[in-house]
Amino acid sequence: MTRTLRAVIFDVDGVLVDSPHEQAWREALAGFADPAGFTTAFYQAHVAGKPRLEGARATLERLGGPGAAASAALYADRKQAAIERLIAEGDFAAFPDAVRLALGLERTGMRRVLASSSKNADAMLARVDLPDGRQLLSLFDADVSGRDLPRGKPDPALFLLAADTAGAEPAQCVVVEDAPAGIAAAVAGGMAALGIARLGDAAGLSAAGADLVVTSLDDLDVAALAVGILRAHPPAGPHTA
């Protein structure tokens, strides 16, 4: 695909940071349902990318049995306490390929905006130091994460807010997401969608409408992106003697 691109919008959990959100959800589930059912595949399909209360409700509706969804707010609060503790303990790390991508985009001058459903995104990125002494958070021009909006992903409201904050039209934006709900939100907002399949879930991201799916953000051709082309690096040719 080719279009004028001015901004790259990043989800955080699973894209920039190997965050402890999944662990926090699983820890908090004890007493509401059997945590054994809360697998990584379940998290990606039903929770990842959604606002906290929606994720809690989706979990309890599927794992908690009849009437369990009525406890969604309590479960969400318990999850929030768990994630705050895990962040304070530094129990997470940035993905090196994501850091390299953010640095590469900084050099192109394209706008970079954070747009996670989580209210904890900036707290995590502020704790990640770059080799030059800056915080990872400093690589982004704006952060609309955790905003209270009427609907969460797959509704495009958060990404549309990110585009407006970047001073770009939706069609001038690329969204980087690891969850099908986030890809669907980007598509619904009229934006290009780049899926990062870190968990062998490329098929789900493609099915949600991703324009390109990669297994490492190092595979993205940043130079091409800067001139409006969303593509992976072309495969290397055969070696010659």
- Blockwise average pLDDT, block size 10, the chain, 241 residues: 85 92 91 90 88 91 88 94 90 92 96 93 91 94 93 94 97 96 97 96 96 98 95 69 38
7-18+93-226: CATH, from 3.40.50.170, 1.20.1050.10, 3.40.50.1000, 3.20.20.70: 3.40.50.1000
**pLDDT at site 241:** 38
pTM for the structure as a whole: 0.84
Q: Where are the domains of the chain?
A: 7-18+93-226, 21-88
**pLDDT at site 48:** 85
Q: How far apart are CA 236 and CA 241, in angstroms?
A: 15
**pLDDT at site 131:** 87
**pLDDT at site 240:** 39
**pLDDT at site 176:** 98
User: Domain spanning 21-88: which CATH class is it, in words?
Assistant: mainly alpha
